[in-house]
A = this chain, B = another copy of it.
């Protein structure tokens, strides 16, 4: 039909190619340390094309954070089985998944947290993308804790969120080697709300 359809037929539109390449590089090297030249060379596209789809590097970063959220969302869909499994098991599955997720030697921290570290107080659109991401993370937990204890769903969700964020931050330092079983810790917490 049109050229975009052909590009999709080849697997990727230019725009998603740019976003996915930038996503990988931002994870590896951070945001400031990753120049647009590096992104453009790694994606095999010209600088003009990059600036056609994204007017500034900041816009690209926001798009990458949205992509990060979307890809994490679809990953979550494979971790959570909403119908045929108790909410407790789904929550613990999240923690088990996080353990392998954070334990990857290539893991350099949550991209949204890192973006906050680099742009907090400097770029409002990026800040918003990060808070949106974290808000969604909490909502996923709330959807599950709602099935466990409707009266204290938010409270439990938030406590579990603290655990997950703590795991993520510590993984950077301990190289994903947790001296305590975090899934068990989450289970203990959940069971006090049943």
Give chain A's interface residues, CB within 8 Å of chain B: 28-30, 32-33, 108-110, 112-114, 116-122, 130-131, 134-135, 154-155, 158-159, 161-170, 172-173, 178-180, 182, 185, 188, 192
For A108, what are the chain B residues with a Cβ–Cβ distance below 8 Å?
Answer: 116-117, 120-121
Give chain B residues whose Cβ lies under 8 Å from the Cβ of A158. Answer: 178-180
Bound complex: CA of A134 vs CA of B109, how far in Å? 15
User: A172 contacts which of B120, B122, B155, B188 (Cβ < 8 Å)?
Assistant: B120
Chain B minimum-CB-distance residue to A132: B173
CA distance A181 to B22 in the complex (A): 38
A-B contact pairs, 17 of them (CB 8 A): A30-B118, A33-B122, A108-B117, A109-B113, A116-B173, A117-B172, A130-B173, A158-B179, A161-B166, A161-B170, A162-B170, A162-B182, A165-B165, A165-B169, A166-B169, A169-B169, A188-B192
Known: A162-B170, A166-B166. A118 touches B118 (CB 8 A): yes
Q: Which residues of B contact A29 (CB under 8 A)?
A: 122
The smallest C-beta distance from A57 to any residue of chain B, in angstroms, reads 13
User: Is the CB–CB distance between A180 and B165 below 8 Å?
Assistant: no
Q: Is the CB of A113 within 8 A of B117?
A: yes
Inter-subunit contact A179/B165 (CB<8 Å): no
A170 partner residues in chain B, CB cutoff 8 A:
134, 161-162, 165
